[in-house]
Chains A and B, each alone.
Chain A
Amino acid sequence: MDITSENRDLNDYYLPTAGDYFSLLKPRVMLLVIFTAFIGLLVAPGEIHPILGFTALLCIGVAAGASGCLNMWYEADLDAKMKRTAGRPIPAGKIDPDSALHFGVGLAVASVLVMGLLVNVVAAVLLTVTILFYVVVYTMWLKRRTTQNIVIGGASGAFPPMVAWAAVTGDVSLESITLFIIIFIWTPPHFWALSLYACKDYANAGIPMLPVVRGERTTKNHIMLYTLAMVPMTLLPWYFGFAGLIYGATAALLGGMFIWLAYALLTDKKLVDEDNASAKKLFYFSIFYLFALFAVLGIENLIGRVL
């Protein structure tokens, strides 16, 4: 009897914890999604009962988590090759791919069904589009094929405030499309800044990110161009009248800072490989930027309602 091998198998066996499953949901991305959706819910005209609003946010958060989980399931081979992602539950051997697939599909279906049954059908349809866009269009189709992967795929991250808006109003309007456009056009400079300093990682994994295929100079030019296009777009809520002067001034100020950091990156003579500082600075600022922009939009709206 081979007692040694039996003992070894028993010792090698790993039972995933609830925390391992939770990390499959990309909690930090989920947080940003829930936050932008919450602002969409807040600024949408009309009333939604707080419990239904909470349900809508829960569905959006779970759908984002499910999308992240299915992304990790499909990209486990790429994640294993990248330093940044090698510790994720599937490449780390904590959760087997089939369990992740079942978990992701289960959550995705549940989130759409609950949204459709308890909130409204338009929001449920938009939520379905969001999940399919991220999993099928971005993860399965574009990511490994084109340098424009995050330009088009970025739409999936831009849907949540639109879904939340639809949860309140039951339709899609110019205002909700404006919120979509802001996140959509913010995504490329945000991800290109990341891909600049994680370029080697992406190259090792064979992902055709812009700096890997077209080089650092082209990427910096693209970041500058997209930033210049983004800043006027962020002023649209003020222009269309569903945001006030405080938002307009904040958007202009933060936009100016974004442009300044993008310009600093553009004119930085050092290669990103030597010094990651300017690319990292832009990446972290871009996260703060989106949070701040939406926070001011929400706070201003709350003040307007109270006064």
Chain B
Amino acid sequence: MPLHEEHKKRKGRNFTLAAILGGLVFLFFMVTLVKLGVI
């Protein structure tokens, strides 16, 4: 596999993972607010 293609794929994977982890952090934050009765 050409190097530029590998970089492109790695970038795509890293961004997807970052988005999922960011989403989970946000979800846990929101659930915490719900459990505290803030929202």
Contact = CB atoms under 8 A, between A and B. Distances in A.
Interface of A: 10-11, 13-15, 17-18, 49, 51-52, 54-55, 58, 118
Most chain B beta-carbon neighbours within 10 Å: one of A10, A51, A52, A54: A51
A52 B13 contact: no
Contact of B30 (A14, A15, A51): A51
Nearest to B35: A118
Interface string B15-33: 0110000000001101100
Contacts of A58: 27
Most chain B beta-carbon neighbours within 10 Å: one of A18, A49, A52, A58: A18
Nearest to A17: B9
A88 to B, nearest CB: 19
Contacts of A15: 1, 6, 9-10
Given A13-B1, A15-B1, A51 B34 contact: yes
A36 to B, nearest CB: 22
A55 B1 contact: no
B31 A52 contact: yes
A10 to B, nearest CB: 7
Contacts of B13: 17-18
Nearest to B2: A11
A124 B18 CA distance: 26
Contact of A18 (B16, B31, B34, B39): B16
A11 B27 CA distance: 40
A55 B30 CA distance: 10
A10 B1 contact: yes
A13 B5 CA distance: 11
A102 to B, nearest CB: 14
A135 B27 CA distance: 28
A72 to B, nearest CB: 19
A52 B1 contact: no
A51 B31 contact: yes
A49 B17 CA distance: 27
B21 to A, nearest CB: 12
29 contacts: A10-B1, A11-B1, A13-B1, A14-B1, A15-B1, A15-B6, A15-B9, A15-B10, A17-B9, A17-B12, A17-B13, A18-B12, A18-B13, A18-B16, A18-B17, A49-B34, A51-B27, A51-B30, A51-B31, A51-B34, A51-B39, A52-B31, A52-B34, A54-B27, A55-B27, A55-B31, A58-B27, A118-B28, A118-B31
A54 B34 CA distance: 12
A27 to B, nearest CB: 14
Nearest to A58: B27
Nearest to B23: A58
Contacts of B12: 17-18
A18 B18 CA distance: 12
Nearest to B20: A18
A215 to B, nearest CB: 47
Given A18-B12, A51-B34, 5 more contacts: A18-B16, A49-B34, A51-B31, A52-B34, A118-B28
B39 to A, nearest CB: 8
B8 to A, nearest CB: 9
Contacts of A18: 12-13, 16-17
